[in-house]
A = this chain, B = another copy of it.
Amino acid sequence: MLSTKNIKKLRDQYIGPSFSLSYHEPLHIVKGKGQYLYAIDGKQYLDAVNNISHVGHCHPRILATLEEQNRLLNNNTRYLHDNIVNYAEELTKKLPAKLDVCYFTNSGSESNDLALCMARNYTGSNQTIVIAGAYHGHTKATIEVSPYKFDGPGGAGSPDFVHQIPMPDPYRGKYRSNDGDIALKYADCVQQILDVLHDDNKQVSAFIAEAILGCGGQIFFPEGFLAAASTKVQQTGGLYIADEVQIGFGRVGSNFWGFESENARPDIVTMGKSMGNGHPLSAVVTTKKIADAFNNGMEYFNSFGGNPVSCAVGRAVLKVIEEEKLQANALQVGSYLMDQLNDLKQRHNIIGDVRGRGLFFGIELIKDPEKLTPASDEAEKIANDMKDHGILISTDGPDHNVLKIKPPMVFTNDNTDQLVETLNKVLMEDNFN
């Protein structure tokens, strides 16, 4: 086994410098179990950030399934196999009735890339509406629709066929909680883009959106915004692509999918991350009509997508979510976490906003209660201090002032107590009010 120092050295030498490490002093993690990670020195960390290890690190049932299928057969989709059709059937049963045609891929980025291709094929247009701060992937086509990337460091700005609405952020956005019917106001921003497209004689292709903005800073939209905005797009012949890569599979607690909590009706749903509990697995699900239009003679082939091993793992994840009642757990523990964090907010002025649904939380830190100046440096310090105290969280948002909590779904009330008590201690130690 290499020393931590040697890994750093080799990483500098052999790994692309565009990859980043978490924390000032990066962790050397060697083991995972449930909601815990273990460093080389044996120290245990409570993982409150890894939404990919959805049902818990190294879940025995997922491991057993992977091993069993892998010993039998791994192969591409050009032969018939039980797993892909069983999985597709089980997956679509979790979705609204019309969303029943599956495409299996290897990452959320591949899924969003494919979804954009489908929408462009269906509408004959590439005019795409996105939300400021949104992230949809690392391929060229998905970076083009990710303001988080193209408006961030090193970004090339917005392509001319991509149109942004302001982040529908009730706390620090253009329209705020006390500005009246802000759901309508933000939805009107979509309408304005549609009007301009109409005046320019252009068809809209798609509105792509997460139901809760992840990288944008765990932003919960004003109630009714997503349904209104997506309906406007659909009424002019465009498609609504629901990006469920970060929040799907029961994470929001109240529902299996994020868009359901918003009463929105997607034409295409993309998923990834949590779907295979770490195994590279992702999917696009759409309607028969859109799938048939996409079937224009060009084959879609994906070397690994939909292979028997990936599909077996996907099925096992669905089963574990159900049998261990993880969606209900997310709802219950999330509710408890919300209470605890709201208590903490009373005691620390730096906590400007606490927002969450299920096990997907953001704690927005501010320097002052009037201007709501983002407490970016403080957020970074807190995430690092939390790590030193054995708890892993991250920061995000355009100002990096939002603490993100999105743990494996086996997170408990005791874990919540530990997290909140530690956060309280760190805030007191750092003297951040």
A-side residues, CB < 8 A to B, are 1-2, 4, 7-8, 10-11, 13-22, 26-32, 37, 50, 52-53, 57-58, 63, 66-67, 70-82, 84-86, 88-89, 92, 100-103, 106-110, 113-114, 116-117, 138-141, 143, 149, 152-155, 272-273, 278-280, 284, 291-292, 294-307, 309-310
Q: Which residues of B contact A106 (CB under 8 A)?
A: 106-107, 110, 280, 304
Looking at the assembled complex, report how far the CB atom of A256 sits from the nearest CB atom of chain B, in whole angstroms. 18
Task: Given A30-B72, A106-B110, check contact A81 B7 (CB 8 Å).
Answer: yes
Among candidates B10, B18, B85, residue contacting A88 with C-beta atoms closer than 8 Å: B10
Whether A101 and B19, one on each chain, are in contact in the complex, defined by CB atoms closer than 8 angstroms, is no
Whether B300 and A278, one on each chain, are in contact in the complex, defined by CB atoms closer than 8 angstroms, is no
Task: Given A80-B21, A88-B15, check contact A73 B298 (CB 8 Å).
Answer: no
Bound Cα distance A143, B140 (Å): 11
Whether B298 and A153, one on each chain, are in contact in the complex, defined by CB atoms closer than 8 angstroms, is yes
Bound Cα distance A359, B288 (Å): 40
Q: Which residues of B contact A141 (CB under 8 A)?
A: 139-141
Among candidates B17, B75, B139, B310, residue contacting A139 with C-beta atoms closer than 8 Å: B139
Whether A58 and B74, one on each chain, are in contact in the complex, defined by CB atoms closer than 8 angstroms, is yes
Task: Given A16-B291, A82-B7, A101-B14, check contact A107 B302 (CB 8 Å).
Answer: yes
Whether A107 and B303, one on each chain, are in contact in the complex, defined by CB atoms closer than 8 angstroms, is yes
Q: Which residues of B contact A301 (CB under 8 A)?
A: 19-20, 138
Whether A310 and B280, one on each chain, are in contact in the complex, defined by CB atoms closer than 8 angstroms, is yes
Q: Which residues of B contact A78 (CB under 8 A)?
A: 20-22, 26
Pick 5 A–B contacts, CB within 8 A, sort by A: A16-B300, A19-B300, A21-B79, A140-B140, A155-B298
Whether B14 and A92, one on each chain, are in contact in the complex, defined by CB atoms closer than 8 angstroms, is yes
Whether A86 and B32, one on each chain, are in contact in the complex, defined by CB atoms closer than 8 angstroms, is no
Bound Cα distance A16, B302 (Å): 12
Q: Which residues of B contact A79 (CB under 8 A)?
A: 21-22, 26-29, 37
Bound Cα distance A74, B317 (Å): 15
Query: Which partner residue on chain B sits nearest A20 by CB separation?
Result: B299
Q: Which residues of B contact A272 (CB under 8 A)?
A: 303
Bound Cα distance A20, B301 (Å): 8
Query: Which partner residue on chain B sits nearest A58 by CB separation?
Result: B71
Bound Cα distance A14, B19 (Å): 37
Q: Which residues of B contact A16 (CB under 8 A)?
A: 101-103, 284, 291, 294-295, 300
Bound Cα distance A141, B144 (Å): 11
Bound Cα distance A107, B110 (Å): 9
Among candidates B28, B66, B89, B143, residue contacting A10 with C-beta atoms closer than 8 Å: B89
Whether B291 and A17, one on each chain, are in contact in the complex, defined by CB atoms closer than 8 angstroms, is yes
Whether A11 and B84, one on each chain, are in contact in the complex, defined by CB atoms closer than 8 angstroms, is yes
Bound Cα distance A102, B73 (Å): 29
Q: Which residues of B contact A110 (CB under 8 A)?
A: 106-107, 109-110, 138-139
Task: Given A72-B30, A140-B113, check contact A154 B278 (CB 8 Å).
Answer: no
Whether A18 and B75, one on each chain, are in contact in the complex, defined by CB atoms closer than 8 angstroms, is no
Among candidates B11, B17, B66, B297, residue contacting A153 with C-beta atoms closer than 8 Å: B297
Given contact pairs A10-B86, A15-B101, A29-B79, a sample of 7 additional A-B residue pairs in the complex whose CB atoms are under 8 Å apart: A14-B88, A15-B84, A16-B284, A18-B294, A27-B79, A106-B280, A138-B301
